[in-house]
Amino acid sequence: MLDSLDELRSFERSVTLGSLSAAARELGTTAAVVNSRIASLESRAGTPLINRTARKLIPTKKGLALLRQIEGQLKALAEAETQIAHVMGAWTGRGRKAANTTEPGLAVPAQTLAKDGTRSMMRATAKARKSTKAEPRRQRGRTKRAGAKAEQSAETLERLLDGAEYLFAKCGLHGVTLREICREAGIDTSLIYYYFDDKLALFKAVFARRADITIARRMKALDEYERQAGEMPTVDGALHVFLDTIFDLYIEGGEGWRNYATFCAQIVNTPEGAELFDEYFDPLVLRLINLLQKALPHVPRTQIFWGYDFVTGSLMHALARSRRIDRLSGGLCKSEDFAAVKAHMADFMASGFAAFEKK
């Protein structure tokens, strides 16, 4: 419960303040922790909530919808925490100090709280809120227009990223122009420079948008598996967690996630793509390697790495959905059938690791 609250607060502060570092300063933590919390929230939501690598930190449409849902509750919770602090301060003789920490316009004098505790707190809080001036109509109009503008900006950026993802998946980084991407997204070419410096920055944003989600989800699944397995992990268990979790995303996530699967397969062997995979996925891969080594303590580490290389090669071939198996099998197998791939891949690869153990 508290972890979820921290995630929501980190998300709300990051969007409201416009940067991870500003949110981290306000929350008394680091930007890396804030980013990790948001990634965990996105993993549970199964969708990107913030675009981190644009020139501006902009929420996605779903992120904006979530922000609107939680703003009021988080504000009410903050006020409740402040009032509780007042009560505790009154009872412990530090009411005056607690009163000084409340929000402007909602200050409740410590001596009032000291009279009869909670009941006085409730009356004083109600009085403070009642005395707070209503927001001027002009300000409400500006707020409404700002909200509409934010929603339009989020929608435009999302269309841009979706269009780029689709074309990069088909043609790679160098096989498509910014003009073609804007045409696919249905936006004016000049708008792209409001969000990104160049095509490479857009390419990196497309990669990062879903990478954080799949990494957080698989890390969490591997951690949970190791807790359950204790000192007795198995190769097939670890591989099922690692592979099944990602295939579930591609099966359940719709066209966007399938485009991302093809995009990853398209770029993994390019210099730009390899650099991004190294930056984002190395900690996850090494987490799996260590778990496999624990399951196979007598197998040389070099063979564990070769085994992983064969796994990832097969995975990327499956994500490419080349339709070759459709033709070879005369339609018996279909490369679009991620559910069938999920059902067979982990068991098949586990048998390969077992062969290492027999040598």
pLDDT tens sequence across 65-107? 888 777 777 777 777 767 776 666 666 655 444 444 444 444 4
Sign of CA dihedral 7, 195, 278, 30: negative
In this structure, the answer to whether residues 184 and 46 fall within a common structural domain is no
Residue 286 belongs to domain spanning: 207-358
Tell me which of 175, 199, 223 is where a domain ends. 199
Q: Can you give the pLDDT at residue 30?
A: 84
In this structure, the answer to whether residues 73 and 173 fall within a common structural domain is no
In this structure, the answer to whether residues 336 and 267 fall within a common structural domain is yes
Residue 32 near residue 71 (C-beta atoms within 8 A): no
Q: Can you give the pLDDT at residue 242?
A: 97
* pLDDT, tens digit (0-9, with 9 covering 90-100), for 276-291: 999 999 999 999 999 9
**Mean pLDDT computed over 345-355:** 95
Classify residue 144: in a domain, yes or no. no
Q: Can you give the pLDDT at residue 100?
A: 47
In this structure, the answer to whether residues 351 and 213 fall within a common structural domain is yes
Core vs surface per residue 109-148: b (16+ CB within 10 A) or e? ebebbbeeeeebbeebbeebeeeeeeeeeeeeeeeeeeee
Classify residue 352: in a domain, yes or no. yes
Classify residue 20: in a domain, yes or no. yes
In this structure, the answer to whether residues 188 and 212 fall within a common structural domain is no
- The total number of structural domains in the chain stands at 3
**What is the value of pTM for the model shown?**
0.69
Residue 198 neighbours by CB under 8 Å, 6+ apart? none
**Mean pLDDT computed over 149-170:** 87
Classify residue 250: in a domain, yes or no. yes
**Mean pLDDT computed over 130-135:** 49
Classify residue 143: in a domain, yes or no. no
